[in-house]
Amino acid sequence: MSPEDVQTDDLDPLAPVIYGDEPVEETLEEDAADGGVSDSDGIVRVWLEDGRLSKVRVSPTWYTRLGKRTLTECFSQALRMANANASVGVVEQRQAPSFDDVDFSGLPRFNNRTFAVMQNLVADAEQRWDEAIERYRSRPRTEPGTVEGRSKGVTVALNGAGLAQSVTFDEKWLDSAQAGTICDHVMAAAENAYAKHVPGDDDRDELNDLEDEHRFLMATLKAMLNPKER
């Protein structure tokens, strides 16, 4: 089409100039491979490592897509699902000690006297173990409370277990904040909160030591009963 073919009467001098394609709304789609979790509308996406917030993303067009929701609600939903996913099957079992390298060849021959000695040692260990369990159960426990970290107009709150449970915003600050700035200050606020968090008291060292002692005594008794396997 030549310039002469253009009908200038049909052109709107106030129409915006379009460079390339019109912008497309970005949705933070679920991708199981990247380990992140999004809210139901794909506005916010969060990543956890060892229960800690490690990365966040906010859609560049979040402010046009919220509808009646708030950005705080989007973060709360994503964090709730991420924390639930992270807690499934995370309970770690303490690795039992191995006595495969212990040399039991010097043990005395099994007889009534050595058996009685082993019985007394095992009974003593079990009694001390029971007493330690009772002390552990009756000790006063310190339950950590909620802590908050702030950065600019962002506040991140951790629950007593140290998990991020909410992200709130100063609305005036949020009005002029871009997605990248929001993400930066969410992470900065989270780090400030983690620095304040003090884990609850759950010292099981005495119980673990007594459990290991009991396992060793039982391994010793087994070696005495099976001298050919020493």
Q: What is the pLDDT of residues 90-111, one digit of tens each?
A: 444 567 788 888 888 888 888 9
Provide the whole-model pTM.
Answer: 0.58
Whether 95 is in a domain gets the answer no
Selected residue with higher pLDDT from 95 and 134: 134
Please determine, for residue 18, whether its predicted confidence score (pLDDT) is greater than 60.
Answer: no
Please determine, for residue 128, whether its predicted confidence score (pLDDT) is greater than 90.
Answer: yes
Same domain, 126 and 161: no
* Model pLDDT for residues 153-175, shown as the tens digit of each residue: 999 999 888 899 999 999 999 99
User: What's the domain range around 215?
Assistant: 112-140+203-229
Whether 213 is in a domain gets the answer yes
Same domain, 153 and 135: no
Whether 104 is in a domain gets the answer no
Whether 190 is in a domain gets the answer yes
Whether 33 is in a domain gets the answer yes
Which amino acid is it at 146?
Answer: T
Q: What percent of the chain has a predicted confidence (pLDDT) above 90?
A: 46
Compute the distance between CA of residue 41 and CA of residue 74 in angstroms, rounded to an integer: 8
Selected residue with higher pLDDT from 133 and 21: 133
* Model pLDDT for residues 19-77, shown as the tens digit of each residue: 333 333 444 554 445 779 999 999 999 999 988 999 999 999 999 999 999 999 999 99
Please determine, for residue 9, whether its predicted confidence score (pLDDT) is greater than 60.
Answer: no
Dihedral-angle region of residue 147 (phi above 0 means left; psi in -120 to 50 means alpha; beta otherwise): beta
How far CA 171 is from CA of 39, 43, 106, 217, in Å, comes to 20, 17, 75, 64
Same domain, 30 and 82: yes
Same domain, 135 and 147: no
Other beta carbons within 10 angstroms of residue 68's beta carbon come to 5
Distant-in-sequence, close-in-space partners of 130: CB < 8 Å, separation ≥ 6: none
Same domain, 83 and 146: yes
